[in-house]
Structure 1
Amino acid sequence: MRFQGRAYCIFLVLLCFITHFVSAQDQKVADSLAKIYREGVQDDTDKLELLRNLSFNEVKDLNLALRYAEELISLAKRQGNYIYLYRGYLQKGNKKRLLGDLDEALDAYFKSAEAASKANFLSGEGTAYGAIADIYSISNNQRNASLYYNKAISTLRRSKDSVALASAISNAGDELLNTKHYDSALLYFKESKRIFEKLNYPIGYAYSLGNIGMVYANLGVNPLAEKYINEAIGILENAGDYYPICEYLLSMADIYRDKGEDHIALNYAHRSLELARQYRLKEQISDADLKLSELYEQTGNPAESFKYYKDHIVYRDSVNDIKSVQKMADLRTDYELAQKQVEVDLLNKKKQNQQIIVISLFIILGLTTVILATLFWYYKAISREKEKSELLLLNILPAETAKELEQNGKVEAVKIDQVSVLFSDFIEFSKLAAQVEPEQLVKSLDYYFKGFDEIATRYGLEKIKTIGDSYMCASGLHTSDQKNVKHVIYAAKEMIELVDNELNAPDDIIHFKVRIGIHTGPVVAGIVGTKKWQYDIWGDTVNIASRMESMSNPGRVNLSETTYQQINDEFSCEYRGEIEVKNHGALKMYFLVQ
Structure 2
Amino acid sequence: MLRKFSAFVILQLLVVFVHAESNSIADSLVAVLKTENEDTFKVNTLNELCKINFSDSPAQAMNYGIEARDLAEKIGFTRGSAYAYKNIGIVHYMQGNYSETLMNWEKSLALFKNLNDKVGESNILSNIGNVYFNNGSDERALDYFLQSLKLSEETGNKLRMATAMTNIANVYLNKTATLDKALSYFMKALPISEELGDKNNMGSAEVGIGEIYLKKQNFDSALFFFRKSLIAYEGTEFIPYSLNDIGKVYLQKGDLDSAKKNHEQAYEIAKNIDSKLDMVQALKGLAQAEQLGNNFSRSIEIYKEAELLANEVAAKYELKEIYDGLAKSYSSNKDFKNAFVYQNLYDAVKDSIYNTETDKKLGSLQFDFDISKKQNELDKKQQEVNRQKQVRNGFIAGFAVVVIFAGIFFRQRNRIKKEKKRSDELLLNILPEEVAEELKEKGEAEAKQIENVTVLFTDFKGFTQLSEKLTPKELVAEIDSCFRAFDQIVQKHGVEKIKTIGDAYMCAGGLPVPNESHAVDTVKAALDIQQYMLAHKSVREKEGKLFFEIRIGVHTGPVVAGIVGLKKFAYDIWGDTVNTASRMESSGEVGKVNISGATYALIKDEFNCNHRGKISAKNKGEIDMYFVES
CA separation of 1:361/1:146 partners in 2, compared to 1, >3 Å: closer, same or farther?
Answer: closer
Residues paired across the two proteins, number = 532
In the TM superposition, what are the counterparts of 1:340-419 in structure 2 within 5 Å?
367-371=401-405, 373-374=407-408, 377-378=411-412, 380-419=414-453
User: Quick check: 1:191 aligned with 2:191?
Assistant: no
User: Taking structure 1 as reference, are residues 70 and 384 closer, same or farther at Cα in structure 2, changes over 3 Å only?
Assistant: farther
Partner of 1:114: 150
Give the Å deviation of 1:149.
3.5
Q: What amino acid does structure 2 have at the position aligned with 1:455?
A: I
Aligned pair partner of 1:460 in 489, 494, 500:
494
1:83 match = 119
Q: TM-score, normalised by structure 2?
A: 0.69
Q: What does 1:261-272 correspond to in 2, within 5 Å?
A: 261=299, 265=303
Once the two structures are overlaid, the 10-residue window that deviates more, 532-541 or 452-461, is: 532-541
Give the structure 1 partner of residue 376 of structure 2: none
For the 8 Å contact 1:30–1:57, the answer to whether it is kept is: no
Aligned residue for 2:201?
A: 164
CA pair 364-106 structure 1, distance change in 2 beyond 3 A: closer
- Gap change, CA 1:475 and 1:269, over 3 Å in 2: farther
- Could you tell me how far 1:425 is from its partner in structure 2? 0.5
| CA shift for structure 1 position 517 | 0.6
Distance apart, 1:551 and its partner CA: 0.5
Q: Could you tell me how far apart the structure 1 residues matched to 2:444 and 2:312 are?
A: 39
Matched-pair contact (CA < 8 Å) for 1:290–1:308: no
For residues 33 and 398 of structure 1, what CA distance do their matches in structure 2 show? 64
Give 1:356's aligned residue.
Answer: none
Which residue does the alignment assign to 1:486? 520
- CA 1:88/1:365 → structure 2, altered by over 3 Å: closer, same or farther? closer
CA RMSD of aligned residues (A): 4.6
Cα deviation, 1:213-242, whole Å, max 9, x if unaligned, reads 22134333336415525754896869xxx9
CA distance in 2, matches of 1:563, 1:275: 60
Give the 5 Å matches for 1:59-208: 72-99=108-135, 102=138, 104-135=140-171, 148-159=185-196, 161-175=198-212, 179-181=218-220, 183-194=223-234, 197=235, 205-208=236-239
What is the distance in 2 between the residues matched to 1:262 and 1:422?
47
**C-alpha displacement of 1:578:** 1.9
Matched, 1:445 2:479: yes
SS of 2:233's partner is helix
Closer, same or farther: CA 504–391 of 1 in aligned 2, 3 Å: same
Residue of structure 1 equivalent to 2:246: 215
1:503 counterpart SS class: helix
Residues 363/421 of structure 1: CA separation in 2 closer, same or farther (3 Å cut) = closer
Map of 1:11 onto structure 2: 11
Q: Structure 1 residues 386 and 8 mapped into 2: Cα distance closer, same or farther (>3 Å)?
A: same
Distance 1:304 1:411 in 2: 46
Structure 1 vs Structure 2: percent identity of aligned residues?
A: 28
The superposition leaves residues 532-589 of structure 1 with CA deviations (integer Å, 9 ceiling, x where unpaired) of 2322211111111111110011111111122111111212211122222466542111
**Partner Cα separation in structure 1 for residue 238 and residue 3 of structure 2:** 6
| CA 122–576 in structure 1, closer or farther in 2 if over 3 Å, else same | same
1:34-57 C-alpha deviation (Å, 9 max, x unpaired): 955995852423235416635864
Q: Is the Cα–Cα contact under 8 Å of residues 170 and 192 in structure 1 kept in the other structure?
A: no
Distance 1:543 1:532, change over 3 A: same
Residue pair 2:458, 2:585 contacting (<8 A) in 1 also: yes
Aligned to 1:338: none
Gaps of 5+ in 1: 198-204, 278-283, 322-344, 346-359
**Higher RCO structure (Cα 8 Å, ≥6 apart):** 1
Instruction: Find the aligned partners of 2:544 and 2:182 in 1 and give their Cα distance.
Output: 23
What TM-score results when the alignment is normalised by the length of structure 1? 0.73
Structure 1 pair 450–157 and aligned structure 2 pair: CA distance change class (3 A)? same
Q: Distance in 2 between matches of 1:435 and 1:272?
A: 39
- Deviations, residues 3-60 of structure 1 (Å, cap 9, x unaligned): 8557436633442699889xxxx997797589559958524232354166358646x5
Larger radius of gyration: 2
CA contact (8 A) 1:93 1:109 kept: yes
Deviation, 1:85, is 2.4
Code of the residue aligned with 1:445 in structure 2: it is: I
Q: Which residue matches 2:382?
A: none
Residue 294 of structure 1 contacts residue 305 of structure 1 at CA under 8 Å; is this kept in 2?
A: no
Gaps of 5+ in 2: 23-52, 70-79, 251-255, 332-338, 365-390
Distance 2:549 2:225 in 1: 24
Tell me the CA shift for residue 399 of structure 1.
2.2
CA–CA distance in structure 2, aligned partners of residues 518 and 436 of structure 1: 30
In the TM superposition, residue 466 of structure 1 has moved relative to its aligned partner by: 1.1
Other-structure match for 1:228: 266
User: Contact conserved, 2:300 with 2:326, CA < 8 A, in 1?
Assistant: yes
Q: Closer, same or farther in 2 for the Cα pair 1:460/1:33, shift >3 Å?
A: farther
- Choose 360-369 or 1-10, whichever is displaced more: 360-369
Tell me the amino acid that sits aligned with residue 152 of structure 1. Answer: A
Instruction: Give the direction of change, closer, same or farther, for the CA distance of 1:310–1:5 in structure 2 (3 Å limit).
Output: closer
Query: Is the CA contact 1:250–1:272 (under 8 Å) kept in the aligned structure 2?
Result: no
Matches within 5 A, 1:268-287: none
Q: Deviation at 1:119? A: 2.9
Query: Does 2:575 correspond to 1:539?
Result: yes
Residue 515 of structure 1: aligned partner:
551
AA aligned to 1:417 is E
In 2: Cα distance, 1:470 partner to 1:158 partner: 30
On the 8 A contact 1:56/1:65 being kept in 2, the answer is yes
Shift, 1:145, TM fit: 5.1
How far off is 1:171 after superposition?
A: 3.9
2:586 is matched with 550
